[in-house]
């Protein structure tokens, strides 16, 4: 009697949880559709058909998207050619590009910076906020650097159509053919480098960021203008940690089979680091070895292990800082107001708490006024 009572209670609770999850999901899909409804309607159907044919590999469509897809093997051949290792992990990393070219070179590619943003396929709203704030494709007054932000998402069947509409609309989302799953973060990160090498090799500066950070773009541009000389100090720039031990026992554990040493080579936080196109190539060459193994911890792998294998020097961001805000209650905008050296701020968004994207916009307003800039006079 009592037992069946409990079973009923448990069933009720499960049903409640199920309903909430379903509702949240439906609500999300609905918001995403709204978000994308600003897409010009004319081309949507064509795009869908085109992408379907991309997905099943029958590249009959003469559009540039198919061309790009077909060319990928040629590009690989050109770049790795005879240096291509048997069993290279790089062969297993492939992409679905938007219909039009993503990387459009300016006259002077020495001043071209691409910002690689690793994003979850579901995070449409984050990407939209970044396009409008710190990741604007701009050339700001007073700086030579020309910025282009490119988002890399994994494959997530539940939102694939929406992602492809977004690709067609904004031409800045690359789909990496890897499941959207924590275990593959390092694969995604390596894939974003490979894409850059294949499709945007002449962008001299590459900045890698997460989609849940807030950034003072002008601090980055000032750093590039005053402190960066890749022809003299070509390396990887970040906030390096030395002697970080390899975790063997917790949730992010890496086994001895995966990585034997007890400490990682110096590595920096994955949330924001900078390197040159030639370092990008060297990192990929280091990964392009027979039976090279990816270690799952993305930042330790790329900026530590692979960087070390490639013999790329590391440098700290001169005079720039980052902060977390999720341990205390101070929001990122206050950090930006108080600290002139703050480059990056990781807000609660970083913990997956995502109710409030106004933070992107509020912080951006503060950053603009901090640098005496308004967008009307920001670029030319």
Ligand X SMILES: *[C@@H]1O[C@H](CO)[C@@H](O)[C@H](O)[C@H]1NC(C)=O
Binding site for ligand X (CB under 6 A): 49, 52-53, 56, 58, 64, 100, 109-110, 201-202, 204, 242-243, 277-278, 281, 371-372
Smallest distance, ligand X to C-beta of residue 255, A: 21
Whichever of 64 and 128 has its CB closer to ligand X, that residue is 64
Closer Cβ to ligand X, 26 or 104, answer by number: 104
Buried b (16+ CB within 10 A) or exposed e, 135-150: bbbbbbeebebbbbbb
Q: Which is closer to ligand X, CB of 53 or CB of 128?
A: 53
Q: Residue 353 Cβ, how far from ligand X at the closest point, in Å?
A: 32
Shortest distance in whole angstroms from residue 126 CB to ligand X: 27
- Token duo for residue 14: 């499960």
* Closest distance of CB 309 from ligand X, Å: 18
Query: Closest approach of Cβ 327 to ligand X, in Å?
Result: 25
Cβ closer to ligand X: 16 or 202? Answer: 202
Among residues 310, 282, 283, 115, which one has the least CA distance to residue 186? 283
Closest to ligand X by CB, 255 vs 263, is 263
Q: Give the residue with the Cβ less far from ligand X, 126 or 335.
A: 335
Place of tokens 């990122």: 332
CB of 246 to ligand X, least distance (A): 13
Write down how long the chain is. 380
CB of 189 to ligand X, least distance (A): 19
Closest CA to 304 of 265, 276, 246, 272: 265
- Measured from the CB atom, the residue of 125 and 234 that comes closer to ligand X is 234
Nearer to ligand X, 52 or 318 (CB): 52
We find the least distance from the C-beta atom of residue 78 to ligand X, in angstroms, to be 11
Shortest distance (Å) from residue 20 CB to ligand X: 36
- Minimum gap (Å) between residue 285 Cβ and ligand X: 10
> Measured at the alpha carbon of residue 136, what is the angle toward residues 166 and 96, in degrees to the nearest 5?
35
Closer by beta carbon to ligand X, 14 or else 100: 100
Nearer to ligand X, 243 or 329 (CB): 243
- Tell how strand 236-238 and strand 205-210 pair up: unpaired
The residue number with the shortest CB distance to ligand X is: 109
């Amino acid at each position: 009697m009592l037992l069946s009572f409990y079973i009923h209670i448990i069933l009720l609770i499960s049903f409640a949880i199920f309903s909430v999850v379903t509702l949240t999901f439906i609500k999300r899909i609905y918001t995403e559709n709204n978000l994308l409804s600003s897409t010009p309607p004319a081309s949507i159907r064509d795009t869908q058909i085109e992408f379907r044919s991309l997905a099943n590999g029958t590249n009959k469509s003469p559009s540039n998207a198919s061309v790009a897809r077909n060319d990928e093997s040629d590009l690989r051949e050109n770049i790795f050619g005879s240096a291509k290792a048997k069993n290279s992990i790089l062969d297993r990393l492939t992409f679905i590009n938007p219909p039009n070219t993503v990387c459009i070179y300016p006259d002077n590619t020495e001043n071209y910076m691409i910002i690689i943003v690793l994003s979850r396929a579901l995070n449409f709203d984050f990407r939209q906020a970044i396009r409008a704030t710190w990741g604007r494709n701009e050339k700001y007054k007073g700086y030579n650097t020309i910025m282009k932000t490119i988002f890399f998402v994994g494959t997530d069947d539940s939102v694939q159509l929406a992602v492809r509409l977004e690709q067609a609309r904004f031409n800045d989302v690359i789909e990496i053919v890897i499941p959207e799953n924590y275990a593959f973060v390092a694969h995604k990160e390596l894939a974003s480098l490979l894409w850059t090498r294949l499709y945007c090799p002449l962008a001299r500066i590459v900045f890698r960021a997460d989609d849940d950070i807030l950034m003072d773009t002008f601090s980055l541009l000032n750093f590039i203008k005053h402190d960066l000389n890749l022809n003299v100090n070509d390396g990887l720039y970040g906030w390096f940690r030395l002697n970080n031990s390899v975790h063997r026992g917790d949730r992010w554990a890496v086994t001895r089979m995966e990585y034997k040493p007890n400490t990682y080579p110096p590595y920096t936080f994955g949330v924001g680091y900078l390197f040159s196109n030639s370092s990008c190539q060297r990192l990929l060459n280091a990964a392009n070895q027979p039976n090279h193994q990816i270690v799952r911890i993305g930042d330790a792998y790329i900026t530590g292990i692979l960087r070390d294998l490639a013999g790329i020097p590391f440098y700290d961001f001169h005079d720039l800082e980052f902060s977390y805000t999720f341990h205390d209650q101070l929001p990122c905008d206050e950090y930006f107001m108080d600290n002139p050296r703050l480059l990056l701020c990781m807000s609660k968004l970083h913990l997956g708490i995502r109710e409030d994207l106004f933070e992107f916009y509020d912080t951006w307003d503060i950053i603009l006024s901090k640098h005496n800039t308004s967008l009307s006079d920001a670029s030319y």
